[in-house]
């Protein structure tokens, strides 16, 4: 047997460099490269291997461990999970910084390969710098924190263990159902140990993603269910994108006159002006979709996890005869809300259902004029938000309208946290698939700037605009520097509303007077954060790193800044001073919170009573 003597780290890179994926007959290289930040726990192992690597893997220097994983995840998401990056860190805090991003990837079913450094497997120099010691279990290390947020976890304690671990990692990373963060913890001594690896281990491997075809009996049951329903509604989720099923969704909807509501992950599956696209659904839904959801006798979920936002905490569907059909590659998701499941690839499932329902001449009972009226009324409501002019300054929704009107149909926007996801879900008008990139499974603050870089790496010929609040920007914006270093231009549209205003609004909506969420100076009188707003020059912050920075207070300044930013060849930041509290509100929707059962505040007591009434109305699935 022919062997190749390599260190474990060198062998891992050689293996990763020869992994390919095939989907619908198209073959592509799966692992594109490695993001990394070096420390004593990986610089002489993975660092040496990357320095001397002569293959096709690129190396990108991250600036924050969490940020670089967000970048890798956004890249994989934009590539419909068909290409990925790995991420290497040292042990201790460097590794732990990746944990929130690992959770973000896993919740959203996005493949990322995480390679944190780990304690010495030999235990001879223990305790090493940054080692966590547990007197009751000496096998515990910082990397154990990845277990709850990883879809596969392993620790390579001998160099030959890499062979089984690497294959299992690829199994999970390429699985449409079980994908997410994969963590291979790499003890710093084992990274550098040599082993005579079989040459066969490094051969070109093609991982095939097969479209799952539904069982014939399941199709029969689904057809019977749909055929006896008069007012179905479709909830389109992210699986529509990953399956490349946008055209099939349109044809299915059109053939049987079934209106469509989009989740955050599913948005842009259909053009905003498609007659049967009723916009967002759920807690951040449009009035059109939520009215239809209340009356629906069948909810057809396609590639969606049916989270509390999509279901308005299980209050969105009020028809006593409502039933659920889940079309999903994951049986776990297909059965949500006690639904009848069609375990299937979205594209294949829709094609088969379209064919079978056409044989029965199926049509819904919706009047075309009724659906048209709902859509027209909602479009008029969006227009009002986009035209929301205030004498005292810029409203958030007016700014979104100006941006939506300015950018090209093929440009990509990204957001993740705060009040912006709700406004974008309701108001943003997408014309093409994959131009709306929202991380709302974990709603991880800090994803926005880092994610924009990942999207730009995936879509080099398109402008990328990250729409981010000041609170989220302050949490994590370090990959702006990486975008400049890699010459990947991103555009940061920063909404400066003086704090965590989304949660401030949520807080006040449940009876609070507002506490601890605005960026104000501490008051000597109250000893609380009730003084003046803090003036922060975010444009100057961006310029200090080498980006172009603009500050705007008026709609005219905004328009001019957008034009100038588009002309630039380096990353830009537009600091947009917006009025707090000028976002959208709910439409026939609710979101359940844990309101204090006992409080000295009468307003909080009333909010609790209101919550209890809504909980009683919610369906118990």
With beta carbons less than 8 A apart as the criterion, state whether 451 and 74 touch. yes
Write the DSSP symbol of residue 151. S
**pTM reported for the whole predicted model:** 0.96
Ordered DSSP codes for 332-361? HHHTGGG-EEEES-HHHHHHHHHHHHHHTT
Distance of alpha carbon 31 from alpha carbon 33, whole angstroms = 6
pLDDT at 365: 96
Q: Are strands 112-118 and 181-187 parallel, antiparallel or unpaired?
A: parallel
Distance of alpha carbon 138 from alpha carbon 190, whole angstroms = 18
* Element of type H or E holding 154: strand 152-155
pLDDT at 157: 97
User: Which homologous superfamily is 387-498+534-577 in?
Assistant: Thiamin diphosphate (ThDP)-binding fold, Pyr/PP domains (3.40.50.970)
With beta carbons less than 8 A apart as the criterion, state whether 67 and 452 touch. no
Domain ranges (residues) in the chain: 3-209, 216-374, 387-498+534-577
Do domains 216-374 and 387-498+534-577 share one topology? The answer is: yes
3-state secondary structure 558-580: HHHHHHHHHHCCCCEEEEEEECC
CATH 3.40.830.10 fits 3-209, yes or no: no
With beta carbons less than 8 A apart as the criterion, state whether 592 and 509 touch. no
pLDDT beneath 70, residues of the chain: none
- Between helix 368-386 and helix 396-406 the angle, nearest 10°, is 110
pLDDT at 516: 86
pLDDT at 511: 81
**Please, which residues have CB within 8 angstroms of residue 467's CB and are 6 or more apart in sequence?**
400, 403, 413, 414, 415, 420, 424, 448, 493, 495
Cis peptide upstream of residue 266 (ω within 30 degrees of 0): no
Distance of alpha carbon 72 from alpha carbon 91, whole angstroms = 20
With beta carbons less than 8 A apart as the criterion, state whether 302 and 235 touch. yes
Taking only the tens place, the pLDDT of each residue in 167-189 is 999 999 999 999 999 999 999 99
Cβ-based burial of 271 (10 A; exposed 0-12, middle 13-18, buried ≥19) = middle
The overall longest dimension of the chain from CA atoms, in Å, is: 80
pLDDT at 366: 97
For domain 216-374, the CATH class is alpha beta
3-state secondary structure 399-419: HHHHHHHHCCCCCEEEECCCC
Radius of gyration of the chain from Cα atoms? 25
pLDDT at 453: 98
Taking only the tens place, the pLDDT of each residue in 542-567 is 999 999 999 999 999 999 999 999 99
Instruction: State phi, psi for 207 to the nearest 5 degrees.
Output: -100, 120
Distance of alpha carbon 164 from alpha carbon 118, whole angstroms = 19
Write the DSSP symbol of residue 304. -
Compute the residue count for the chain.
621
Nearest to 224 by CA among 139, 323, 296: 323
Q: Are strands 194-198 and 205-209 parallel, antiparallel or unpaired?
A: unpaired
pLDDT at 513: 82
């Amino acid at each position: 047997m022919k062997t190749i003597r390599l260190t474990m780290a060198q062998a891992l890179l050689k293996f990763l460099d020869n992994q390919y994926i095939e989907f619908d007959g198209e073959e592509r290289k799966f692992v594109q490269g490695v993001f990394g930040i070096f420390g004593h726990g990986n610089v002489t192992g993975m660092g040496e291997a990357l320095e001397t690597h002569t293959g096709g893997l690129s190396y990108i220097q991250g600036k924050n461990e969490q940020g670089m994983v967000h970048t890798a995840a956004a890249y994989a998401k934009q590539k419909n999970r068909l290409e990925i990056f790995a991420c290497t860190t040292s042990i201790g805090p460097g590794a732990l910084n990746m944990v929130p991003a690992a959770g973000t990837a896993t919740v959203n079913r996005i493949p990322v390969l995480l390679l944190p450094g780990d304690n010495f497997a030999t235990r001879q120099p223990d305790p090493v710098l940054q080692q966590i010691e547990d007197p009751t279990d000496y096998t515990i290390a910082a990397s154990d924190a990845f277990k709850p947020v990883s879809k596969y976890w392993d620790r390579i304690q001998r160099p030959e263990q890499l062979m089984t671990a690497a294959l299992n990692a690829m199994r999970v990373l390429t699985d449409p159902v079980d994908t997410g963060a994969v963590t291979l913890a790499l003890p710093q001594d084992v990274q550098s140990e040599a082993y005579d690896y079989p040459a066969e281990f490094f051969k070109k491997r093609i991982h095939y993603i097969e479209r799952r075809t539904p069982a014939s009996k399941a199709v029969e049951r689904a057809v019977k269910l749909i055929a006896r329903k008069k007012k179905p509604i479709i909830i389109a989720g992210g699986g529509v994108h990953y399956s490349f099923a946008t055209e099939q969704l349109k044809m299915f909807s059109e053939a049987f006159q079934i209106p469509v509501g989009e989740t955050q992950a599913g948005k842009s599956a259909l053009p905003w002006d498609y007659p049967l696209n009723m916009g967002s659904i759920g807690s951040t839904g449009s009035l059109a979709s939520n009215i239809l959801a209340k009356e629906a006798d069948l909810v057809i979920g396609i590639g969606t996890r049916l989270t509390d936002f999509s279901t308005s905490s299980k209050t969105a569907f009020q028809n006593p005869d409502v039933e659920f059909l889940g079309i999903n590659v994951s049986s776990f998701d297909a059965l949500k809300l006690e639904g009848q499941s069609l375990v299937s690839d979205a594209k294949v499932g829709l094609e088969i259902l379209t064919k079978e329902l056409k044989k029965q001449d199926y049509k819904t009972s919706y009047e075309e004029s009724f659906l048209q009226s709902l859509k027209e009324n909602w479009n008029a409501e969006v227009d009002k938000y986009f035209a929301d002019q205030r004498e005292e300054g810029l409203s958030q929704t007016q700014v979104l309208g100006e941006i939506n009107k300015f950018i090209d149909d093929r440009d990509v926007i990204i957001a993740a946290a705060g009040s912006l996801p709700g406004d974008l879900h309701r108001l943003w008008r997408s014309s093409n698939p994959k131009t709306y990139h929202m991380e709302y499974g974990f709603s991880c603050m800090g994803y926005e700037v880092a994610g924009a870089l990942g999207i730009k790496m995936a879509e080099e010929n398109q402008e990328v605009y990250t729409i981010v609040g000041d609170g989220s920007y302050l949490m994590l914006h370090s990959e702006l520097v990486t975008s400049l270093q890699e010459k990947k231009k991103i555009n940061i549209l920063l909404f400066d509303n003086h704090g965590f205003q989304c949660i401030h609004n949520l807080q006040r909506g449940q009876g609070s007077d507002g506490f601890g969420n605005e960026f104000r100076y501490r008051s000597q009188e109250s000893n609380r954060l009730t003084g003046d707003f803090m003036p922060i020059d975010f444009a100057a912050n961006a310029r200090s790193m080498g980006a172009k920075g603009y500050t705007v207070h008026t709609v005219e300044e905004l328009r001019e800044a957008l034009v100038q930013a588009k002309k630039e060849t380096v990353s830009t930041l537009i600091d947009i001073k917006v009025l707090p509290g000028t976002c959208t509100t709910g439409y026939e929707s609710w979101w359940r919170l844990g309101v204090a059962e006992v409080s000295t505040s009468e307003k909080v007591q009333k909010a609790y009573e209101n919550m209890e009434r809504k909980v009683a109305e919610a369906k118990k699935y």
